[in-house]
Amino acid sequence: MEYLTHLAILFFIYAILGVSLNLVVGYTGLLSSAHAAFYGIGAYATAIALTSLHINFFLSLAAGIIITGIIAFLIGIVLSRFRGDYYALVSLGFNVIVYSVLLNWQGLTRGPLGMPGIPRPEFVFDFSSNISFLILSFLFVIVIYIISRFLVASSFGRVLKAIREDEQAVQVFGYNTNYYKLAIFVISAGMAAAAGSLFASYITFIDPSSFTVMESVFILAVIILGGLSNLRGSILGAFILVLLPEALRFAGFPQAIAAQMRQMVYGLCLIFLMLFRPQGLLGEYKL
């Protein structure tokens, strides 16, 4: 039961990451590969506030979202100068910079040693048990999903989709597309920071290895598999990519090659899906 609860909490965290990234990549057409950076900034900001400043979890969460939002705003201004592949490369470079800072700023982050002893949330209710934390994570997913659904269904969301299809045409009608791209980038980063706060408090230990470029690639895989420009697809993608590797543990592969076989089957499933369903399972748009 504890094992299933653990998987469910991880699924909820990646569902938040998937939904938030889909707002940028799927709905706006901006190929951002920096999501793990914002995930990590939120996690570290919350962890530092909890362990060093002894601030309540929910205040630490708010601080993490604000700090991440400010950084995303500054980076978003730079990214607004780029389009297409250059946007992806510059955002990738930002992720590398954040990882390097987390790894080398030992006075603040403890570097490769990581930050242990991060407390679980406690406010009116005690969320120290995994079941209670599961409920808290589920509530976060619901809130993030409702906010995201409201955004994409609004006139703001319709402009984002128009930018994805033809940004120059949108500019002709008098819209400041840089404003819309920057706004959704900051909103998405704040949501990723919330996922990072949950992750840090749940695991009670973080280190830079959880926020590498490969983590950004994994989050991208979540939304591409589930479906771009579809919030339900982001949740489905997180469900499959979090649970499939664990399900393959029970596939009966020989013990000596079990790990390699799981990775091979996992990779083949993704390859075949991209060949025959490039827009993802529920996708409405493909890169």
At residue 266, does pLDDT exceed 70? no
The whole-angstrom separation of Cα 163 and Cα 169 is: 8
Percent residues over pLDDT 70 in the chain: 93
66-to-18, 62, 190, 246 alpha-carbon distances in Å: 20, 6, 7, 35
Q: Which residues of 69-108 are buried (b: 16+ CB within 10 A; e: fewer)?
A: bebbeebbeebbeeeeeebbebbbebbeebbebbbeeeee
Longest pairwise C-alpha distance within the chain: 62
Express each pLDDT in 28-81 by its tens digit: 999 999 999 999 999 999 999 999 888 889 999 999 999 999 999 999 999 888
The whole-angstrom separation of Cα 121 and Cα 5 is: 17
At residue 283, does pLDDT exceed 90? no
The whole-angstrom separation of Cα 243 and Cα 247 is: 6
Identity of the residue numbered 48: I
- pTM for the complete prediction? 0.93
Locate the DSSP E strands across the chain.
Answer: 122-123, 125-126
The whole-angstrom separation of Cα 13 and Cα 151 is: 20
Q: Which two tokens stand for residue 184?
A: 């959704």
Q: Which two tokens stand for residue 35?
A: 């999501």
Determine contact, residues 10/134, Cβ cutoff 8 Å. no
91-to-11, 14, 96, 194, 250 alpha-carbon distances in Å: 25, 20, 9, 20, 38
Q: What is the pLDDT confidence band of residue 252, given thresholds at 50, 70 and 90?
A: low
pLDDT of residue 260: 72
pLDDT of residue 259: 66
32-to-4, 83, 90, 135, 275 alpha-carbon distances in Å: 31, 10, 9, 30, 22
* C-alpha closest to that of 137 among 43, 263, 286, 15: 15
